[in-house]
Structure 1
Amino acid sequence: MSSKIKNMSAEVKTHGVVSGHSGAVNRVARALAGLTGLAVIIAMVVACGGKNESPAPSTSTSAAATGGDLAAAAQDAYTYAYPLVTMEYTRRVLTNTVEPQGTAAPMGQFVRMREYPNAQFRAVTAPNADTLYTQAWFDVAKEPWIVSVPDMGDRYFLLPMLDGWTEVFASPGKRTTGGKAQTFAITGPGWSGTLPPGVTEYKSATAMVWLLGRIFCTGTPEDYAAVHALQDQITAVPLSAYGKPYTAAPGVVDPAVDTKTAVREQVNALSGADYFRTFADLLKTNPPTAADAPTVQTLAKLGIVPGQAFDATKLDPGVASALADAPKAAQRKIMAWAKDGIAAGDNTFQNGWLFTTKTGTYGTNYLQRAYITAIGLGANLPQDAVYPTSEGPSQQVKYNGANKYVMHFDKGQLPPVKGFWSLTMYDADYFFVDNPLNRYTLSQRDNLTTNPDGSVDLLIQADPPSDTANWLPAPKGDFVLMLRMYWPQETAPSIIDGTWKVPPVTQAP
């Protein structure tokens, strides 16, 4: 992945969110940023049935209350809109190219990541060394897109699709559909045509769709070749071209698109007027859901109506002022959710590990949705992956390579997953750590040494132990650990229901 999409996935820890939040909150946020993925909903128009049935925007301050109430309403509107605006800016960056190259590809074409980064890689934080990405963006407003997937055999893979609001509306893969060859259609809101025989329909609630696929790979030359062959057989065509010769059209490069600045920085820098204008435009093809009806009513009182243009200059001065002031205040509230979300039960801090199982589907939990967007856009469903992350044994103490640490698993208590698990080492900036073994993770695919009683100790330290089988090399300074759990068990023992807990990492004598 490139630096221009630092917040592309939940496996990506992003920098410099908002000025003004405390270091403690920021540290918690960075730990939670190990969600995943780096991840891809359209159906009905607002709570009613037609785009033109929404009330005209009010330009009166009294309609949306005054003072603190008005400011709160504007901040809530910002929080509600944050995922959709962020997805749009991400889409622009990742599709602003003539042909697939690097991390970008034109709309309707796949980017296929071919290898894992090494310790010199600095383009993206929290890289992974477990799955290779295959991702594409689709516009399903006019017609469905047909995606064909080859027989994946017994290999673990998942192809989650996010709508414009970051809801995962489908996640075909080994967990849900098995490894046999499959063909599916991504359909948009209002589409009710007929699909070819044997094609499964996945309906998005929005015109914007992001397919963020991941395929397990051991990283050996032989396995790279095997996965590359599978990646090349994952194809997409519009429904009108299905079963016919098809050549994707070259993409069009828009020089106005900023491909150098991280997406989150671009979004956070938007003025209130520009932010809400972009949001209103996006609502035309990415409508709210029925559950959002109360919020839609509040938006209308602020002059934001699905299907209608937004013009801040025509608003009551009080409303315009509240919307102008909303960005920074809302951004602080969003990032404070790293800590506040623990008290609310959306995030969990346990044994030094911070994680959440409230990802992928959010309902009306707009603050959690915005927070996950900010720290890890593209997060999977918890049934697909959970990413406990730890910067130290407590929120006040960090790990440091001057010490030796042990992560102990009792017999039969290794991470309970049906896919795979891995423990990844990062330095304090969330990059891989250079080491003589070129080892950045320990996982179940390694030949781990078992203690006489059946337990397993993972040795986390800078200097190599006498037996390096269970050694996860650490840097000399501070470091971060991330436990990736793909397809975690849903019944006991399970991290999802809390019946399995990530063991603490303790300092060795």
Structure 2
Amino acid sequence: MMTALMASALLVTSGAGTSAEKAAGDEAGCGPANTEIDTARRVFQFAFPLYEVWRTRQRMLQLSGATTNSLLHRKTLSRPGDRSITTPNVDTLYSTAWLDLTDSPVRLTVPAMGARYHSIALMHPFSDVFAILRNEDANAVEFLIVGPHWGGTADPHQRVIRSPTNDVWLVARTSVQGADDLPEAQQLQSTYALTGETRGDRDLADQIPARPNSTQLLAIASTVLARGPVPADAAARIDCLGSAVTVQEGEKPGVTIDKAIGPALDRHLETFLDETKLAFERSGTLRNDWRYPLPNIARFGPDDAHRSAMALGGLAALPIEEAANPLTTRDADGADLIGTNSYRLRIPGDVPVDGFWSLTLYEADGSGRWFLYKNPSDRHAVTSLTGDLDRDESGTSSVHISHAPPRDGANWLPAPSGRFMLVFRAYRPRAALIEGSFRLSPVEKTRS
């Protein structure tokens, strides 16, 4: 797995490219790359999402009983010890599957869910969501998920979903309305059905590390892309490729990456990882010290910088029309959120969502990834679903956030003693939240 440097595409631009190459690259969203670090950064930002998706795939397929084309249900809500996906929610049960559509399609059956929030996101290996599935019918619905070259015929009752790639990451979310609702949510989750040819994976021999060197980064990205085909929006940027690549045609088309880019990547890799970590924390549109997601989240197009930032800190994010998730690491004065301080966040009773909202707290692991904070109260979020928040006469909830318990323990969200991040998830947001006319209040520092 770690030897081949073959790929269907890798975004590399030579500073000595022709005018035609540069014009085509600009149209594809590439822009010029005039220095070694520019070119190396371009390679990193293109390859890193592929790397993170494949690393996640490996970790999940190494779980007991896991195979491709089969569902793996997590029967409990996310916990502080869970490290499979960064910034996991504690609002929904996760079900995941890694689809291989090379030889045949798979059938996904979704039970009748009533009014319960649920979504099934389908992502290609760049981490972009190409479909969101749900069942709003009174009976079960069957989807037929097919590969890009499938030429078969679906049954009349099946809804055909065509993937742009042979490899697909499926992530299903089933909402839980508090502890008493967990058994019913689990029962519904267990009735999701995925039917397809299951198999092991020969590409799992070498462990993929959390922090790659250039050889590991390029080899994993190349391995993924060689499985092909490349999504159209990525293939359109092949015109960005300069002398650093060689295109092969024929029965097995692909792109060979020039190994000479490796030393440049190694020289700047720590810089790129630091830039990506900071880019995640500073991504989006700033409103009241909250960073609201950009319109292209989860459907990044040519924006590899944004794609790589989300791959590090928010992998498997949903498109903004499915979930608008503003985040903050700052208080109203622009200072870092630190748990030894005390804070208050006022959440109005009329948050514009058709689903529900939740506020989740995360601590950093030091690498740019964020996970749930283990605390004695075992509380990691507050949500509109559970009905256990104290509200004032206007319907507003004042959430208290600190490491030490406040004098009034109601609406307390425990924080670590160091830095933390808040993510406000608005599932199925309305236009006011997406477009910005509704804004969360800033996080206020208080005395206790």
Bucket of the pairwise TM-score, normalised by the shorter protein: 0.7 to 0.9
Deviation at 1:396, TM superposition (A): 5.6
Post-superposition CA distance 1:164-192 (Å, at most 9, x none): 22221111126xx5674211011111212
Alignment of 1:115-264 (within 5 A): 115-118=76-79, 121=81, 123=83, 126-173=87-134, 177=136, 180-220=139-179, 222-238=180-196, 251=200, 256-258=205-207, 261-262=209-210
Give yes or no for the alignment of 1:442 onto 2:382.
Answer: yes
Corresponding position of 1:507: 445
Partner of 1:379: 317
- The alignment status of 1:347 with 2:296, answered yes or no, reads no
Aligned-residue sequence identity (percent) comes to 25
Query: Greater relative contact order: 1 or 2 (C-alpha under 8 angstroms, separation 6 or more)?
Result: 1
* 4+ runs deviating over 6 angstroms: 61-67, 340-343
SS in structure 1 of the partner of residue 355 of structure 2 = strand
Whole-angstrom CA distance in 2 between matches of 1:254 and 1:296:
26
The amino acid across from 2:38 in the alignment is: A
- The alpha-carbon deviation at position 381 of structure 1 amounts to 0.8
Query: 1:219-266 CA deviation, whole Å, 9 max, x = no partner?
Result: 42x42221222222111113xxxxxxxxx656367772317x43xx2x
- Residues 406 and 229 (structure 1 numbering): CA distance in 2 closer, same or farther, change over 3 Å? same
Which of 66, 69, 94 is the matching residue for 1:108? 69
**1:420 correspondence with 2:356:** yes
Counting strand residues as a fraction of each chain, which structure ranks higher? 2
With over 3 angstroms needed to count, the CA separation of the structure-2 counterparts of 1:425 and 1:192, relative to structure 1, is: same
Q: What is the rounded CA distance, in whole Å, between the counterparts of 1:465 and 1:178 in structure 2?
A: 48
**Match for residue 36 of structure 1?**
none
Corresponding pairs, count: 416
The secondary structure found in structure 1 opposite 2:245 is: coil
- Once the two structures are TM-superposed, the CA of residue 415 in structure 1 deviates from its matched residue by 2.9
User: How far apart are the structure 2 equivalents of 1:58 and 1:364?
Assistant: 14
Paired amino acid for 2:288: N
Q: After TM superposition, give the deviation of residue 308 of structure 1 in Å.
A: 4.4
Alignment of 1:363-374 (within 5 A): 363-374=301-312
The aligned residue for residue 393 of structure 2 is 452
Is the Cα–Cα contact under 8 Å of residues 96 and 254 in structure 1 kept in the other structure?
A: no
Instruction: Name the SS of the counterpart of 2:435 in structure 1.
Output: coil
**In the alignment, residue 203 of structure 1 is paired with which amino acid?**
R
Give the unaligned 5+ runs of structure 2. 1-6, 23-31, 366-370
Structure 1 residues 465-491: Cα deviation after superposition (integer angstroms, max 9, x where no partner): 44x4433334555543221221111x2
Q: Which amino acid aligns with 2:302?
A: T
The 8 Å contact of residues 344 and 398 in structure 2, kept in 1 or not, is answered as yes
Structure 2 counterpart of 1:389: 327
Measured on the aligned residues, the alpha-carbon RMSD in Å equals 3.7
Tell me if the contact between 1:390 and 1:482 (Cα under 8 Å) persists in the aligned partners.
Answer: yes
Go from structure 1 to structure 2 and tell me whether the alpha carbon gap of 1:326 and 1:123 turns closer, same or farther (over 3 Å shift).
closer
Change (3 A) 1:362 1:123: closer
Deviation at 1:92, TM superposition (A): 3.0
Q: CA distance change for structure 1 residues 252 and 140 in 2, over 3 Å: closer, same or farther?
A: closer
| 1:83 aligned residue | 49
2:247 partner SS: coil
Query: 1:284 Cα shift?
Result: 4.0
Contact 2:289/2:334, CA 8 A, preserved across alignment: no
How does the TM-score come out when normalised to structure 2?
Answer: 0.79
Q: How much has 1:202 moved relative to structure 2?
A: 0.9
**Is 2:92–2:174's contact at 8 Å kept on the other side of the alignment?**
yes
CA distance in 2, matches of 1:341, 1:398: 15
